[in-house]
Amino acid sequence: MDLELTEAQREARDVARRFAREKLDRVGIEVDRTHQFPRAAIEELGKLGMLGIFIPQEYGGSGLDNVAYALVIEELSVECASTGVIVSAHSSLGSWPILGAGSEAQRLRYLPKMASGEWLGCFALTEPQAGSDAAGQKTRAVRDGDFYVVNGTKNFITNGPEAAICILFANTAPDQGHHGISAFIVETSSPGFNVVRTEDKMGIHAAHSAQLSFSDLRVPAENLLGSEGEGFKIAMKTLDGGRIGIAAQAVGIARAALEASLKYAHERKTFGNPLASYQAIQWKLADMAVEVDAARLLTLQAASLKDRGEPCTKQSAMAKLFAAETAMKAATEAVQIHGGYGYTKQFKVERFFRDAKITEIYEGTSEIQRLVISGHVLRNR
Ligand code: CAA
């Protein structure tokens, strides 16, 4: 891996950093309180080309790569982890399956509007009884002439209420296990596509996680992604990329926790001296700094493999696992360094603590990442 960023990658990172510092700082604080979707910020990000970073220019995207994408998600997440995951779910989970598995007609119809942000995307895999066990899909799609008729329920779908496009997984042949799962591109304005409720969550308040239900939803047969039965593989390949996005989000949260802790350690005095003068605090800061850098390197390694078209399943699981646990540890230490104030809403670190937790859960829990990694290392021993 070349550790030197290209000019285009640096520029994308710097544009995202400037935008995050100037526009997202207040948004991050406000939307945590109001739970409102940051629509104006998302529209601006669309204009900056940040909603189609790795989409080729021929489909209206910025034509950059996954390394640039990871750098951008980190920068956004430093100031607002909700915005980070809204962009990540839209890009990795909503747009990528169309780029990676779609026909030319599907790419031309959907990607330009997704790259501009006119249409947001979501990814509907998880079901009430099928979370970690993603193959246990109960949602059913039955062929009826030129349509599939879909019935079922999906849970915890990021961008569910706002998305115009949903990558939907459903069983077309229930007797064939995961080989019976198919993927569809669904326009959410179609009759029978229902947003049942938005969850009231611990953190990432502005990134809405919805329960969706489908009642006799008619999906044109031409909106099948790939072939019937390919859905599970499309989901797994999509998650290989999605986990890079979540790893980058976690790096952003961990970095925010470190930066807030450094500032506070210089400002706050105890026993007549700044916190930064005490070894107990210095060691915490040192560990946080090491882990943030290590998490970023793992994330960029996975992104770089994906950009070269090489398998990245193990590395994206490693990046997501390590970055998520780093975010949780860094946020916990940041609250500890801030003492009683860290437990109040006067400082941002209590939000980082709540936002960090989800990175250990969504797009595959830490336990699932360990399962994926151990599968690879045991096979290749
Ligand atoms: N790429 C391509 N194919 C893959 C693959 C990958 N990364 N991983 C597995 N496959 C293929 C296998 O090769 C196998 O194919 P064959 O049967 O043809 O040989 C098939 O998929 C089944 O593989 P496994 O036997 O390993 O599958 P499994 O049923 O044991 O499940 C699992 C594996 C890793 C546990 C998987 O179910 C998984 O990742 N679970 C977690 C799901 C998840 O992350 N959900 C989050 C959804 S998104 C979200 O959080 C909401 C949001 O909006 C943010």
For ligand 1, atom 49: residue with the closest CA: 363
In a domain, 368, yes or no: yes
CATH of the domain at 286: 1.20.140.10
- Alpha-carbon 140 to chain mean position: 26
Q: Are residues 88 and 130 in the same domain?
A: no
Which pLDDT does position 1 carry in this prediction?
66
Q: Are residues 188 and 239 in the same domain?
A: no
- State the closest ligand 1 atom to the C-alpha of 246, by its place in the atom list counted from 1: 54
Which pLDDT does position 372 carry in this prediction?
98
Most distant CA pair in the chain, distance = 78
Of the residues 176, 198, 231, the one at which a domain ends? 231
Dist CA 68 CA 17 (whole Å): 12
Q: Are residues 284 and 368 in the same domain?
A: yes
Dist CA 254 CA 333 (whole Å): 10
For ligand 1, atom 44: residue with the closest CA: 364
Of the residues 177, 208, 231, the one at which a domain ends? 231
Q: Are residues 25 and 127 in the same domain?
A: no
Cβ atoms of 187 and 214 within 8 Å: the answer is no
Q: Are residues 238 and 374 in the same domain?
A: yes
Q: Are residues 64 and 179 in the same domain?
A: no
Centre of ligand 1 from the C-alpha of residue 172, in Å: 18
In a domain, 297, yes or no: yes
- State the closest ligand 1 atom to the C-alpha of 375, by its place in the atom list counted from 1: 26
- State the closest ligand 1 atom to the C-alpha of 122, by its place in the atom list counted from 1: 53
Which pLDDT does position 270 carry in this prediction?
96
In a domain, 2, yes or no: no
Q: Are residues 114 and 152 in the same domain?
A: no
Centre of ligand 1 from the C-alpha of residue 57, in Å: 30
The reply to whether ligand 1 has any atom less than 6 angstroms from the CB of 232 is yes
Which pLDDT does position 3 carry in this prediction?
83
Residue 363 annotated to the active site: yes
In a domain, 288, yes or no: yes
Q: Tokens at residue 245, please?
A: 């996005």
Q: Which of 187, 350, 363, 367 is labelled catalytic?
A: 363
In a domain, 79, yes or no: yes
Tell the residue number behind the tokens 């986990």, with chain if given. 243
Q: Are residues 40 and 73 in the same domain?
A: yes
Centre of ligand 1 from the C-alpha of residue 231, in Å: 10
Of the residues 206, 231, 256, the one at which a domain ends? 231
Rg (CA), the chain: 21
In a domain, 252, yes or no: yes
- State the closest ligand 1 atom to the C-alpha of 362, by its place in the atom list counted from 1: 50
Centre of ligand 1 from the C-alpha of residue 66, in Å: 21
Q: Are residues 14 and 35 in the same domain?
A: yes
Domain of residue 330 covers 233-379
CATH of the domain at 164: 2.40.110.10
For ligand 1, atom 12: residue with the closest CA: 233
For ligand 1, atom 22: residue with the closest CA: 178
Dist CA 59 CA 83 (whole Å): 23
Centre of ligand 1 from the C-alpha of residue 235, in Å: 7
Q: What is the mean pLDDT of each run of 10 residues along the chain (381 residues)?
A: 90 98 95 97 98 98 98 98 98 98 98 98 96 94 98 98 98 96 98 98 98 98 98 98 98 98 98 98 98 98 97 98 98 98 97 98 98 95 68
Dist CA 167 CA 374 (whole Å): 29
Q: Are residues 227 and 317 in the same domain?
A: no
Which pLDDT does position 157 carry in this prediction?
98
Indicate the top mutation candidate among 178, 195, 209, 310 to test ligand 1's pocket, ranked by most ligand atoms within 8 A of CB: 178
In a domain, 217, yes or no: yes
Q: Which amino acid is at 201?
A: K
For ligand 1, atom 15: residue with the closest CA: 233
- Looking at residue 6, what DSSP letter applies? P
Query: What total number of domains does the chain contain?
Result: 3
Q: Are residues 223 and 245 in the same domain?
A: no
The reply to whether ligand 1 has any atom less than 6 angstroms from the CB of 313 is yes
Dist CA 49 CA 6 (whole Å): 18
- Looking at residue 125, what DSSP letter applies? -
Dist CA 342 CA 335 (whole Å): 4
The reply to whether ligand 1 has any atom less than 6 angstroms from the CB of 368 is yes
Centre of ligand 1 from the C-alpha of residue 184, in Å: 17
Q: Are residues 138 and 103 in the same domain?
A: no
